[in-house]
């Protein structure tokens, strides 16, 4: 039997209540108005799943409540019920707080609740497809701007640079001039010019933009990612 609690400023809709009530293996054991004490109160009922309706709540309050719930009962699953108006940055913060899935509040969300609860209990993370796009871009930028991944990608493409040459190439690829690279690596600008020259030779390039473009192509980095 899956036990469920619901937390909201506005209360649970009758349609959702009926949807859960129709499931033989699910039971709604508590409905709680959101207060600052909800984070500690809800885990006392030891639900398997908490449906946390975040409509009207400040992001900081949401994160605080989720952190407290997870600290009190790490095994409890928290599904965030969100409206479409929240900014991507806020959703990312809510995800980082430790929620287990995102359910977008729409007229037909009650039809998806049972499916999402079951998936969450099977250790899946569910979120609306259109909400994944901003996060896919964030992950891509993280992947393509990581120094460790950059170094690995060079080796996978058969390019053997020294550690210092790799550091210089990394900042070159991101569009930094020699002076700024020198500041980043705490080197003399003349030393940076020497390392840049070595990278030119190892990648068979004669012009700076050619070198930058080649480094970006090798590591799947596009200009628009820094727009």
Residues 125 and 197 in one domain: no
Residues 79 and 24 in one domain: yes
Instruction: Find the CATH number of the domain harbouring 205.
Output: 1.10.10.10
Residues 107 and 185 in one domain: no
Residues 134 and 150 in one domain: no
Domain boundary among 108, 139, 170: 139
Spell out the long-range contacts of 85-93 with Cβ–Cβ below 8 A and sequence spacing 24 or more: 86/54, 86/59, 88/134, 88/135, 90/59, 91/131, 92/135, 92/138, 93/59, 93/63
Residues 44 and 126 in one domain: yes
Residues 102 and 189 in one domain: no
DSSP conformation class of 76: -
Residues 170 and 128 in one domain: no
Which residues span the domain enclosing 158?
146-226
Q: Which residues contact 161 (CB under 8 A, 6 or more apart)?
A: 154, 169, 198, 199, 202
Look at residue 145 in the predicted model and tell me its pLDDT: 64
What is residue 203's three-state secondary structure?
coil
Residues 127 and 190 in one domain: no
Instruction: Give the CA count within 13 Å in the CB-facing half-sphere of 134.
Output: 10
Q: How many domains does the chain have?
A: 2
Q: Which residues contact 119 (CB under 8 A, 6 or more apart)?
A: 101, 126
Look at residue 134 in the predicted model and tell me its pLDDT: 64
Residues 47 and 98 in one domain: yes
Residues 128 and 150 in one domain: no
**Spatial strand order in the sheet of 2-8:** 26-33, 2-8, 49-53, 77-82, 101-104
Residues 10 and 118 in one domain: yes
From first to last of its 227 residues, what are the pLDDT tens digits of the chain? 899 999 988 877 788 888 888 888 999 999 998 888 888 999 999 999 999 998 888 888 999 999 899 889 989 999 998 887 777 778 888 888 889 998 888 777 777 888 889 999 988 888 877 667 666 666 666 555 678 888 888 988 899 999 999 999 999 988 889 999 999 899 999 999 999 999 999 999 999 999 999 998 887 655 434 43
Instruction: Find the CATH number of the domain harbouring 102.
Output: 3.40.50.2300
Domain boundary among 139, 165, 183: 139
Residues 86 and 68 in one domain: yes
Q: What pTM was estimated for this model as a whole? A: 0.59
Distance of alpha carbon 121 from alpha carbon 49, whole angstroms: 8
């Amino acid at each position: 039997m899956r036990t469920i609690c619901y937390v909201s400023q506005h209360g649970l809709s009758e349609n959702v209540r009926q949807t859960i009530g129709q499931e033989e293996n699910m039971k709604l054991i508590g409905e709680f108005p959101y207060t600052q004490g909800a984070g500690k109160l809800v885990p006392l009922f030891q639900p398997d799943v908490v449906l946390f309706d975040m409509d009207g709540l400040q992001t900081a309050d949401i994160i605080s409540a989720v952190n407290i719930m997870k600290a009190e009962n790490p095994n409890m699953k928290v599904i965030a019920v969100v409206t479409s108006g929240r900014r991507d940055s806020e959703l990312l913060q809510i995800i980082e707080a430790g929620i287990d899935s995102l359910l977008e509040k729409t007229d037909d969300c009650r039809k998806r609740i049972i499916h999402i609860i079951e998936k969450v209990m099977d250790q899946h993370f569910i979120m609306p497809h259109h909400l994944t796009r901003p996060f896919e871009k964030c992950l891509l930028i993280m992947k393509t701007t990581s120094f460790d991944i950059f170094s690995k990608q060079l080796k996978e493409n058969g390019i053997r640079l020294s550690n210092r040459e790799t550091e210089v190439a990394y900042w070159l690829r991101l569009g930094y001039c020699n002076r700024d690279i020198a500041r980043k690596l705490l080197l003399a600008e003349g030393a940076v010019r020497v390392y840049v020259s070595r990278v030119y030779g190892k990648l068979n390039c004669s012009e700076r933009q050619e070198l930058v473009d080649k480094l970006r192509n090798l590591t799947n980095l596009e200009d628009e990612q820094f727009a």
